[in-house]
Structure 1
Amino acid sequence: MWALFLRDLRLAIRAGGGFGLGLAFFLIVTTLVPFGVGPEGGVLAVIAPGILWVGALLACLLSLDRIFALDHEDGSLELLATSPLPLEAVAVMKALAHWITTGLPLILAAPLFGVLLHLPWPGHLWLVVSLAVGTPALSVLGTFGAAITVGLKRGGLLLSLLVLPLYIPTLIFGAEVVRRVLAGTDHMVALALEAGITLGALALVPFAAAAALRVNLR
């Protein structure tokens, strides 16, 4: 399993869908927003939690189509399907590799990008916490979408259409955590709901992804 994980890390970085691409897109979103809504710090501070979460979500989408595509192209996905390693474990390792190369850099860079959007300082810590809790769900759900569309030519748009509705609850509660912290209200309920979504995705989605892979490999 760990050999597969390390291989996926190397493939993600070599394919250009790792650290640099997601961070560059996140930075572009963050720097373009002030041009669109104006440079007023008060306005930017209000919308910063939502903008940062939307940027992180869209950055995660960029590399989803590569999760299984490279393995499908070189035939290694068929070998994995016939190996003693369950496809559920393959899906988990793929999601973990995607999170390490995409989600984790976004989490680490989020406080810096929050400064660009005038996010108040109390929100920086909870922005990192909410992203750390929510981004694993984005990677796991993305693995499911990638399993459905594996083998399809130009399946990137279809993948985005399939996955985006599943991302919405995590986006809502993740941004709500930061907004409630800044408003001085109770934020633990939103954080608990976000964590519940992530745990539910981790428990159920690998089985759905494995089933989708079995159907596509027949």
Structure 2
Amino acid sequence: MAPVKDSAAADDSLRTHLRAATMAAHDLLDHAMQAASGWQTRSDYARFLALQHAARVPLEDWLAHHAPGDLSPPPQTPLLARDLAALGLGLPAPAPGLTASKPAAGEALGTAWVLAGSALGNRAIAKQVARIGGGEWPTAFLGDDTMMAFWQGLRARIERPAEPDEAEGATRAAEAVFAHFLAVAEHGHAPESLPA
């Protein structure tokens, strides 16, 4: 993990810290998700949506129980369920539930940062899906405006320096969320806990 600089450093926003600390995990997840599902065919796209749903169910549940309201991203699983239903598919089994006591400083923020930040990548994927699927594949999840609005609000919070304990907690949580998604992409299951 990258060291946390003095919070007085003007150029060391929490966003910069999180991006640097999780860059390798983010790249690994992007590659694994593309390899595990992709969106070149209708069945590839359905698998991508199913993996997203399976991974997000326990994360959304964890946030609902542990995050303050301003750090609870809008749920994406109902949108994923709608897209899967439009493809004629049922819901996948969720990944194992996450177990954690009341989160330490920054953990809800780190979790929300990963989920909200994924909406940026979803925009690029949505364009590819529209092209490949001829505009016929459902994109309620990929095109969700509420998550983008949440991301814009979160940016104001993370584009400032953070106290070391908040930055470390956010980093631990972000790394755990990336590992969770990676496990779902690679093995169809995930670790059962966030760091407490």
Q: Which TM-score applies when normalising by structure 1? A: 0.34
Larger of the two Rg values belongs to structure: 1
- Taking CA–CA contacts closer than 8 Å with sequence separation of 6 or more, which of the two structures ends up with the larger relative contact order? 2
Higher helix share: 1
